[in-house]
Amino acid sequence: MPWHPSYRGRVLEPDYLFASRHLLPHFLHALCAHLTAVGRLPVAAGDGAQAEIGALHRALVALERAPLPAQEPDVPDAYFAIQRELEANLGPHTVSWLRIGLSRNDLDMTVYKMRARELLLATGEQLLALRRALLDKAAAHVDTVLIAQTHHQPGQPTTVAHYLAAVEALLARDTERLLGAYGRLNRCPLGAAALAGSSHPLDRELTASLLGFEGPVENTYDAVASSDWEAEVVSVSQSAALNLSRFVCDLLSWTAAGWFRLPDGLVQGSSIMPQKRNPVALEHARTRFSRALGAAQMVLYSSHNIPYADLNDFGPDVQGALQMQYVQLSGGVDLLLACLQGGDFDAGRLAAAAAVTDTTATELADELVRSAGMAFPDAHALVATLIVRLQETGRALAQASVSDVRALGGPEIAPEALASALDPAAFVRRRAGLGGPAPEAMVSQLAGSRQRVERDAGSLEGRKRELSGARDTLRAS
């Protein structure tokens, strides 16, 4: 019976195209691993069986060098297309060895996990590149004062390095989440068959090892019915997208103020306003992070209020959403990396902007505590009143004098102590404790952050070597 045109056009054809583009090597590798286990069964002990299995294995390896054939009207998916191709070359009897103890349920979930590993590793590589770029830019701006905001208002002086190191710390935790998610999904469903396993004594530890998994999913029902690993994969990327969208928001604000400047290749002019340098690369990065968040919801809601069983909801129907999230996050990170590496902060403009704020008020209150013995609440109230009086005369806090303090009933304070307390750069230098923005503290922070990046790079590289080694072993098996 032919497939209904709606089902063929809306389901089978898109799924087949997706599998041909993104899943074919994984199908072939998983089938090779399963066939290797089948070849060790007692039922396959004879020379004739071994010869057929060897020919079938070589045929599977050879299919890696050819694209998936065009979908035939009666072929529903990639698995059956591969089977038909093998049968045309080797005959149905030889290909029947693949069918022992194998279901599309465990095969599909194995393939989906293999693809997810690729996406996680690629995402991890991009996050590492961005983290390195953040630390490079931070190292160039250890002394560059930046007025940080709290509640959308100027808060306190810090440095560009301090801010960028904080963003890198966010991404370090996202990388840690990514590595954790990888470890938890890296269990192989193959051998679970439909859901209850097989009466043939298939070596599931072997197939897991051949595919680079740390081991099999222990419960065969869990192997084909669970989608929590998909939720975790998209949640990791969702966290990165959320964190980076906040960074982009700040960069856009700083470009508007002239504090951060993008190169010409990342801005766009106006068709009518000659002066415009629109930061379009950052705008497009922002939209891609938003789309990554949206794609995550497609995956999460596909597992909402459904039975705990093997279903299409979290199987073939969400693979496109997983891919979509990766494409959007990857695009956003790539654009942001280009902006960070090609753009730069204007230290002069940042210093000028800092000089006209009242953001050193906390340090003045602290200085009154240190030099005059005032209680901090009293010093806090005095400085708050001083700021109001200065504003009434059109002056910034940096222009306050000893007489201004004395006029409000404040204590005597040495002019040099007052000037130092009101200097944004001195404010930063005094904050040399653990995690603070003082240059010497930042140098230590950045060194530790670089070590952390390289540790994570080593972990990712180790995972890549595991997969590469497994593929080599599988081809030779």
- Residue span(s) of the chain under CATH 1.20.200.10 come to 119-346+450-476
Q: For residue 476, what pLDDT band results from cuts at 50, 70 and 90?
A: confident
241: which 2 tokens?
């997208």
Burial zone of 102 (CB within 10 Å; 0-12 exposed, 13-18 middle, 19+ buried): buried
Task: State the pLDDT at residue 71.
Answer: 94
Residue 1 has pLDDT above 80, yes or no: no
Burial zone of 451 (CB within 10 Å; 0-12 exposed, 13-18 middle, 19+ buried): exposed
Residue 422 has pLDDT above 90, yes or no: yes
Q: What angle do CA 83, 18, 8 make, to 5 degrees?
A: 75
**Between the CA atoms of 44, 45, 50 and 56, what dihedral angle is there, to the nearest 10 degrees?**
20
**Cα gap 48→55, rounded to integer Å:** 11
Task: State the pLDDT at residue 166.
Answer: 98
What would be the CATH architecture of the domain defined by 361-422? Orthogonal Bundle (1.10)
Q: For residue 475, what pLDDT band results from cuts at 50, 70 and 90?
A: confident
- Per-residue pLDDT tens digits for 87-143: 999 999 999 999 999 999 999 999 999 999 999 999 999 999 999 999 999 999 999
Task: State the pLDDT at residue 353.
Answer: 95
Q: Which helix (H) or strand (E) holds 344?
A: strand 344-345
Task: State the pLDDT at residue 75.
Answer: 94
Q: Are 232 and 315 spatial neighbours (Cβ–Cβ below 8 Å)?
A: no
Instruction: Return the percent helix, strand and coil in the chain, to nearest 5.
Output: 70, 5, 25
Instruction: Please state, rounded to an integer, the average pLDDT across all residues of the chain.
Output: 96
Q: Which helix (H) or strand (E) holds 153?
A: strand 153-159
Q: For residue 74, what pLDDT band results from cuts at 50, 70 and 90?
A: very high
Give residues with Cβ within 8 angstroms of 150, minimum separation 6: 156
DSSP string covering 169-196: HHHHHHHHHHHHHHHHH-EE-TT-TTTT
Residue with tokens 């072993």: 473
Distances (CA, A) of 455 to 84, 161, 167: 46, 21, 18
Distances (CA, A) of 412 to 61, 252, 402, 442, 463: 85, 44, 7, 34, 64
**CATH fit for domain 119-346+450-476, picks 1.10.287.110, 1.20.200.10, 1.10.357.10, 3.40.50.300:** 1.20.200.10
Q: Are 384 and 361 spatial neighbours (Cβ–Cβ below 8 Å)?
A: yes
DSSP string covering 208-251: HHHTT-SEE-SSHHHHHH--HHHHHHHHHHHHHHHHHHHHHHHH
Sign of CA dihedral 447, 451, 452, 453: positive
- Per-residue pLDDT tens digits for 321-334: 999 999 999 999 99
- Per-residue pLDDT tens digits for 360-407: 999 999 999 999 999 999 999 999 999 999 999 999 999 999 999 999
Q: If you average pLDDT over residues 405-434, what whole number do you get? A: 95
DSSP string covering 70-110: PPPTT--SHHHHHHHHHHHHH-HHHHGGGGTT--HHHHHHH
Spacing of C-alpha 370 from chain mean position: 46
Give residues with Cβ within 8 angstroms of 72, minimum separation 6: 81, 84
Q: If you average pLDDT over residues 266-273, what whole number do you get? A: 92
19: which 2 tokens?
């599998």
- Per-residue pLDDT tens digits for 284-297: 999 999 999 999 99
Distances (CA, A) of 335 to 130, 237, 266, 285, 383: 10, 16, 9, 6, 44
pTM of the model: 0.95
- 3-state SS class at 148: strand
Tell me the HSE value of 56 on the side-chain side, using a 13 A CA sphere. 29
Task: State the pLDDT at residue 2.
Answer: 83
- Residue span(s) of the chain under CATH 1.10.40 come to 361-422
**Cα gap 171→126, rounded to integer Å:** 11
Residue 149 has pLDDT above 70, yes or no: yes
Share of the chain above pLDDT 90, in %: 96
243: which 2 tokens?
């964190």
Task: State the pLDDT at residue 474.
Answer: 87
Beta bridge partners of 215: 187
